[in-house]
Amino acid sequence: MKAPAQELKSLKTHKGELSSELRELKEKQRAIAREINSKQLEMDETLKRLAKLTDGEIIVTEHAIYRYLERVLEMPMDEVRNAVLPEETRNLVLEMGNGEYPVGKSHRIVVFKHEVVTIKK
């Protein structure tokens, strides 16, 4: 068992260490709070800008356009997919990976991570 003087010194040392750690943690907490506030202000500004851009506008999404082509114009989507990426081009992509590939004389496709990401004329 420690002598009272030795225990007192040990506890005072520990108290000093804890005080120092608490100050550091509180400063980190303030820094995080400032960062949160900054991001919240940025989010608020972004939401305001979005609202201005879409105010009074109705946006037609790509999904809605896709469904219109499929359901209203009754375009067979499998045929469209095959026209975008015919079997011979698909095989070339599987062999070569990412890149730009010609599809006949009609267009070129750009493939990234096994997805056709755009089509060029």
Q: Quote the pLDDT of residue 9.
A: 92
- For each successive 10 residues of the chain (121 residues), what is the average pLDDT? 83 94 96 95 92 79 93 94 94 95 94 95 92
- Predicted confidence at residue 1, as pLDDT, reads 61
- What is the pLDDT, as a whole number, of residue 25? 96
The per-residue pLDDT for 5 is 87
Q: What pLDDT is stored for residue 27 in this prediction?
A: 95
pTM value is 0.51
- What pLDDT, on a 0 to 100 scale, did the predictor assign at position 2? 66
Burial call 86-99: b when 16+ CB within 10 Å, e when fewer: eeebbebbeeeeee
Q: What are the residue ranges spanned by the domains of the chain?
A: 1-48, 77-120
Quote the CA–CA distance of 37 and 42 in Å, as a whole number: 9
